[in-house]
Copies of this chain bind each other. A is one copy, B any other.
Amino acid sequence: MTTVPLSGRRAQAARNDEVILDAAREVFVADPAAPIAAVAHKAGVGISALYRRYPSKEELLAKLCLDGLLVYVGIAEEANAALDAGADPAETFATFMRRIVDADTHSLTQKLAGTFQPTEDHRLSAIRAGELNAHLVERLHEAKVVRPDLVVADLGQVFEMIAAVRFGDDERRGQLRHRYLDLLLAGLLLPGATALPGPPPYVGEFASRWDKAT
- Chain B: minimal CB distance from A158 (Å): 8
User: What total of chain A residues lie within 8 Å of the partner, measured CB to CB?
Assistant: 35
Residues of chain B lying within 8 A (CB to CB) of residue A165: 157, 160-161
- Chain B: minimal CB distance from A202 (Å): 10
Across the interface, do A176 and B157 meet the contact criterion of CB distance under 8 Å?
yes
Across the interface, do A196 and B167 meet the contact criterion of CB distance under 8 Å?
no
Residues of chain B lying within 8 A (CB to CB) of residue A160: 164-165
Across the interface, do B205 and A168 meet the contact criterion of CB distance under 8 Å?
yes
Across the interface, do A182 and B201 meet the contact criterion of CB distance under 8 Å?
no
Asked if A36 is at the interface of the complex by the 8 Å CB criterion, the answer is no
14 A–B pairs (Cβ distance < 8 Å), ordered by A = A157-B165, A157-B176, A160-B165, A161-B165, A161-B180, A175-B198, A175-B199, A179-B196, A179-B200, A179-B201, A182-B193, A182-B194, A182-B196, A189-B193
